[in-house]
């Protein structure tokens, strides 16, 4: 029964997705961070005014969200940063992507921009890099200066330990990735 429902939901989801082509795949340091540039011919990015996510088909019935970190509305290319260092369908899918592969995805809203200008502190692991870079592209660096701090997800619950080294009190916005 569960599988029938999953299959029906996947069928509906597939209808909302379009095809994109992988242009390049590059491993960053740590090597579990993949930079994936894709061409999305049917997705118009000109009017993006909030942080987006791409719902990506990563398996027969599996979908994961990945953030367009940088994009060029003219060429319709955009870059994803995917953390692939754990055992899951999304990580497995991202690890085996190669230039020339066709993938299925659809854009959706992920997060709004801060309501007013001010300093932004971004705290997150590699999987949040796309979110922060997207915010960078969508905001004016002088009005929204950003500080970034990379942390492993398992350490994030101990944020008070971070405050000694980071001027949290000087920040207007605090974003946890």
Ligand X SMILES: Cc1cc2nc3c(=O)[nH]c(=O)nc-3n(C[C@H](O)[C@H](O)[C@H](O)COP(=O)(O)OP(=O)(O)OC[C@H]3O[C@@H](n4cnc5c(N)ncnc54)[C@H](O)[C@@H]3O)c2cc1C
91 binds ligand X (CB under 6 A): yes
Dihedral of alpha carbons 95, 101, 104, 106, sign = positive
The torsion angles phi and psi of 29, rounded to 5 degrees, stand at -100, 120
Rounded to whole angstroms, how far apart are CA atoms 162 and 16?
41
Q: Looking at the chain, how many residues does it have? A: 177
79 binds ligand X (CB under 6 A): no
CB atoms within 10 A of CB 143: 11
130 binds ligand X (CB under 6 A): yes
Candidate list 89, 138, 159, 162; residue touching ligand X; CB under 6 A: 89
Select 48 or 81, whichever has its Cβ closest to ligand X: 81
Rounded to whole angstroms, how far apart are CA atoms 65 and 130?
11
57 binds ligand X (CB under 6 A): no
The torsion angles phi and psi of 160, rounded to 5 degrees, stand at -55, -30
Q: Could you check whether the bond before residue 30 is cis, i.e. omega within 30 degrees of 0?
A: yes
Q: How far is CA 177 from the centre of its chain?
A: 10
Piece of 14-22, 38-46, 88-96, 115-123 that binds ligand X (CB under 6 A): 88-96
Candidate list 20, 38, 82, 121; residue touching ligand X; CB under 6 A: 82
Q: Name 32's Cβ contacts closer than 8 Å, sequence gap at least 6.
A: 83, 84, 85, 126
Candidate list 48, 81, 132, 144; residue touching ligand X; CB under 6 A: 81
Tell me which residue has its CB nearest to ligand X. 88
H-run or E-run covering 123:
strand 120-124
87 binds ligand X (CB under 6 A): yes
Binding mask 98-117 for ligand X (x = CB under 6 A): ------------x-------
124 binds ligand X (CB under 6 A): no
Candidate list 43, 48, 67, 123; residue touching ligand X; CB under 6 A: 67
35 binds ligand X (CB under 6 A): no
88 binds ligand X (CB under 6 A): yes
| Residue ranges binding ligand X (CB under 6 A) | 53, 64-67, 80-83, 86-91, 110, 125, 127, 130, 153
């Amino acid at each position: 029964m569960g599988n029938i429902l999953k299959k029906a939901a996947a069928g509906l989801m597939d209808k909302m997705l379009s095809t994109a082509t992988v242009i390049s795949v590059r491993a960053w340091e740590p090597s579990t961070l993949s930079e994936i540039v894709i061409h999305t011919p049917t997705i118009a990015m000109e009017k993006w005014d909030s942080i987006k996510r791409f719902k990506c088909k990563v398996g027969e019935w599996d979908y994961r969200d990945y953030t367009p970190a940088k994009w060029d509305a003219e060429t319709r290319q955009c870059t994803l940063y995917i953390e692939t260092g754990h055992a899951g369908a999304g990580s497995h899918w991202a690890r085996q992507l190669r230039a020339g592969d066709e993938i299925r995805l659809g854009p959706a809203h992920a997060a709004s921009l801060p309501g007013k200008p001010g300093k932004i502190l971004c705290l997150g692991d590699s999987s949040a890099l796309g979110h922060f870079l997207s915010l960078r592209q969508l905001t004016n660096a002088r009005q929204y200066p950003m500080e970034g701090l990379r942390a492993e997800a398992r350490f994030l619950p101990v944020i008070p330990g971070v405050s000694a080294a980071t001027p949290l009190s000087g920040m207007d916005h605090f974003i946890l990735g």
